[in-house]
Amino acid sequence: MARVLIVSSHMVDVRMAGSGIRCWEIACALSRHADVTLATPRATMLADPQIQLVAYDGRGTVIRECLASADVVLVQGYVLQTFPFLKNVSQPLVVDLYDPFLFENFEAHRFRRAAHRQVIHARDLVVVLEQLRRGDFFVCSNERQRDYWLGMLAAAGRIGHCDGREVGLRDLVDVVPFGLPEISPSHTRQVLKGVVPGIGEGDRVIVWGGGIWAWLDPLVLVRAMTTVAAAYPEARLFFMGKEHPDPSLASSNLSLYSQAVDLARKLGLLGRSVFFNDRWVEYDERQNYLLEADIGVSCHQRSIETRYAQRTRLLDYVWCELPIVTSSGDTWSEFVEAHGLGKVAPVGDADALAAALNSMLDEPDLKAAHRPRFRAIRSLLTWERAIYPLVRFIASDR
Amino acid sequence: MHRDGRGSILVITDPGHNRQHHRGLFAGQRLAHLSKVLSRSFALAFATPEGLEFSIDDGVRDSEAARSVAPDAGFGGAVDAVFVDGRVLRQVPSLIAVTAPIVVDLYDPLIADDPSQWPGPIDPAARAAERETMIREQLLVGDFFLCANEAQRDYWLGMLTVYGRVNPLVYADDKTLGNLLAVVPWGIERWLSEADSCSLADLPLGIREGDMVVAWALDDLPWLDPVTLVHAVADLVQSTVALKILFLVSPRSDWTRTGIVAAAKNASDLRQLTDRHAFFINCATGDLNRYLRQADLGISLQKDCFAARFAVRPEIEAYVGAGLPVLATPNNAQVISRFPLGWVVSESTVEQVVRSLREFLAAPDLRKALDDKAQKAASELSWEVTSLPLVRWCELPRRAPDRPAGSKHDLPRVTIDPTLPSFWAMPGRALYYLKVGGVAGLAAEMRSYLRGKLPELRR
């Protein structure tokens, strides 16, 4: 079997966010097709007998050692910048471009001075260009992203004369979406209803999975809850994640989190209809929250980030067969509408969002009604299917 | 401002683009339609070395300014905005110095790849360099850009990112980047009536009353796939003699010996369809609608390739305007799915085309049944509607936030050369940050860097 070294840019551990989750799940799925080593920024408590897990330090000594026994290397994020020696490896280099972080950082740094924003963007752009110049194969997480990366790759000189003879350039950049575990989720302990003070066993819970990132819009949801709570006093909104689980990014999202808490307090909803978790939920326990909840929600801003976004939390909702309410504009909102998985509200429209939530809460057996639709698509969205382009590349005669 | 008080727009056309590259059925039509819409609200002046292939009907064209001119900096100063397409900036480099805001139509991402633009032996390296220069100049000089569909918009945003045009200044102006790049889809000229139709006698001998006619307004482009249609029809006509394909090919393209139309003709000859079930006729642009009005189904199949992904297929809008149901591959088939108006099939799948044609043959009144939907589509996709982003920008033309007004040749401040060498050495980075963000930017980055390093140093 081919030997694959995956170098994660973010923490992979019992508590982790999108980037770490993606590395972990790709490693697990790929381990059926290759010998996988997953290098992470610090030691992890996760374990899988099929994966060799190693922790690297700032010098990357461990990564250098692992390179000796790797046939293919997969990197993401700032890894090439942090470890420039990876740019010169002889092995084929796969670059995971699932996250167009340039757009996320536009919003995350929006309140900095203009000159500094320019510098941050220029630095980010060079990081991306280095990836595009060096990579042998690229993966991203949806077709919109792919079109965007094809434009960047063309401008970076990676695409030659196109005359219709080539087959789609899928051997240069292809889509590896986020996937679902193949096993069904199981509820192992009660965590929300009757456990979180203020959320009773008979309440109906709207859950916001994952973190409150700068480009999302928890505020519109909190505003919508004034209408929802008036119509359904038993409705409870629960934000699952607080600060980013990676200590180096822990403070990056607290501004919007604080704004959401303040708004809920100002509207008299905090602790009555709106609740904020005080920690990040462990990856292997997320299903306990989602299986107890009645609706999964995701709201974002009207921005270029939304166009290319791939929101991990929505996959978790699908996995747990949790009816969805989401903002319009991203690929997932189209998917939700196309497959009848829930409701889509216009971005930033609190009234429409409240109406969508109310109409869902109005359904007497909401989850049972949606279950067949989730069952119809779940098997199509597994990680095993998602990683096919990687399996094809690794097996190819490069 | 024009002397009659209307805003004035200088339209600079690319003769290579409109005459050589697009020798097909839709040559120059996009510019013609956009110009006609603009002329209803603005005074237009045209600049082109060879004259226009279209005329503005309502007489608002400024005849004095419309003479062929090579624009210079002074000329640009006299207009409120400049509208360019194709490779104009490569042919008229002085345009870079124009102070008026510039809107660039990028609806054809493949213009740089068209072999007809490269006469004589071509050095691949020279072509790549020329291509890169041409695209870079367009993307650096424009204040506002147009493209023709969402896939193109994603592609061009990627390109614009590399050339530094997607940056915090532009984002602060509009978080969706809609003020930088907007989609102006190919529009529908008008709803065709029975009176627009040709007579049966105008059709090739062999097409008879009662035949089901499948029409394809076919440009000789390598990413199109008429061969799949030929094989599908060959499979079908064993049981359905009334099915006829009408390939409408521009007489301006030399398609008889090489290219994709010749390949289709060869396949048709081999399957013994030519002049029995498949007809290849020269069709002047002006005659296209007459033939389409007589047909029963419009078709447009593309291969699964990079070029097809981002190309525009105007024949689909022409079919809709003629009231035809449409069979097409997914790229550019949004109109078919949206209203809906026919079948969308995967690329290069003969069996799917056969299945769709069977359904089409089983519904002889389909055209009539879809009439309302097609008319609705024609109304919602008229050029007046699709060109709204351009009209709105022209009402208030302005320099892009990263191309401040006042200076002439002011390429954006954040311009990253994709061939930038690796410079992770500290001094190189500092110099780079100084160039991009000035002293304030460098200082902020140094503070940020030190904040990140301090905990490490303390350890």
Does residue A187 belong to any structural domain of this protein? no
A364 and A389 in a common domain: no
pLDDT(B407) > 80:
no
Average pLDDT estimate for B152-174? 96
Q: Which domain holds residue B426?
A: 421-459
> Other C-beta atoms within 10 Å of B73: how many?
14
Instruction: Provide the pLDDT confidence category of residue B437 given band limits of 50, 70 and 90.
Output: confident
Does residue B1 belong to any structural domain of this protein? no
A332 and A222 in a common domain: yes
CA distance B317 to B335: 8
Tokens matching residue B331: 């790229």
Provide the pairing of β-strand A342-345 with A324-327. parallel
CB < 8 Å from A in window 122-151 of B: 124, 127-128, 132, 135, 150-151
pLDDT of residue B38: 93
Instruction: Provide the pLDDT confidence category of residue B72 given band limits of 50, 70 and 90.
Output: very low
B303 and B272 in a common domain: yes
In terms of CA atoms, which chain B residue is nearest residue A150? B155
pLDDT(B222) > 60:
yes
List the alpha helices (DSSP H) in B174-259.
226-236
> Other C-beta atoms within 10 Å of A178: how many?
23
Pick from A58, A118, A155: CB nearest B414: A118
B79 and B26 in a common domain: yes
Give the residue among A267, A227, A260 at the shortest CA–CA distance from A356: A227
Q: Considering its fold, how many domains does chain A have in total?
A: 2
Does residue B21 belong to any structural domain of this protein? yes
pLDDT(B401) > 90:
yes
pLDDT digits (tens, 9 = 90+) for B115-152: 555 445 567 677 777 778 888 888 988 999 999 999 99
pLDDT of residue B250: 85
B204 and B316 in a common domain: yes
- A52: which residues sit within 8 A by CB, 6+ positions away? A35, A36, A37, A38
pLDDT of residue B137: 84
Q: Which domain holds residue A100?
A: 3-179+382-395
pLDDT of residue B64: 39
In terms of CA atoms, which chain A residue is nearest residue B435? A119
Find out whether A119 and B444 touch, Cβ atoms under 8 Å: yes
Does residue B415 belong to any structural domain of this protein? no
Does residue A7 belong to any structural domain of this protein? yes
Identity of residue B279: F
B86 and B183 in a common domain: yes
Find out whether A244 and A250 touch, Cβ atoms under 8 Å: yes
B301 and B255 in a common domain: yes
Whether residue A107 and residue B175 make contact (CB cut-off 8 A), yes or no, is yes
Can you give the pTM of this predicted structure?
0.91
pLDDT(B458) > 70:
no
B164 neighbourhood in chain A, CB within 8 Å: 125
Mean pLDDT lowest among A78-82, B23-27, B334-338, B421-425? B421-425
Does residue B408 belong to any structural domain of this protein? no
Tokens matching residue B140: 């650096």
Find out whether B185 and B381 touch, Cβ atoms under 8 Å: yes
Give the residue among A316, A110, A337, A98 at the shortest CA–CA distance from A215: A110
In terms of CA atoms, which chain A residue is nearest residue B110? A162
A388 and A287 in a common domain: no
Q: Taking chain A (398 residues) in consecutive chunks of 10 residues, what is each chunk's mean pLDDT?
A: 94 91 96 96 91 93 95 94 92 95 92 89 91 95 96 88 68 95 95 96 96 94 98 97 75 82 97 94 95 98 95 95 97 96 98 98 94 95 97 88
B254 and B391 in a common domain: no
The shortest C-alpha distance from A304 to chain B (Å) reads: 4
B207 and B180 in a common domain: no
A159 and A248 in a common domain: no
Does residue B410 belong to any structural domain of this protein? no
Pick from A113, A145, A159: CB nearest B306: A159
pLDDT digits (tens, 9 = 90+) for B245-304: 999 998 877 777 778 999 999 999 999 999 999 999 999 888 898 999 989 999 999 998
B202 and B315 in a common domain: yes
CB < 8 Å from B in window 338-367 of A: none
CA distance B32 to B53: 8
SS3 A40: strand
A13 and A67 in a common domain: yes
Edge to edge, the sheet with strand A274-276 lists A274-276, A235-239, A204-208, A295-298, A324-327, A342-345
Does residue B3 belong to any structural domain of this protein? no
CATH number for the domain spanning A334: value is: 3.40.50.2000
Give the residue among B391, B392, B415, B390 at the shortest CA–CA distance from B403: B415
Whether residue A161 and residue B127 make contact (CB cut-off 8 A), yes or no, is yes
CA distance B257 to B157: 38
Q: What percent of chain A has pLDDT over 90?
A: 82
B459 neighbourhood in chain A, CB within 8 Å: none
pLDDT of residue A178: 95
**Which secondary-structure segment (H or E) carries B216?**
strand B212-218
Count the residues in chain B: 459
B218 and B296 in a common domain: yes
CATH number for the domain spanning B261: value is: 3.40.50.2000
pLDDT of residue A252: 66
Does residue B402 belong to any structural domain of this protein? no
- The radius of gyration of chain B from alpha carbons, rounded to an integer in Å, stands at 25
- A164: which residues sit within 8 A by CB, 6+ positions away? B221, B222, B223, B224, B260, B303, B305, B307, B308
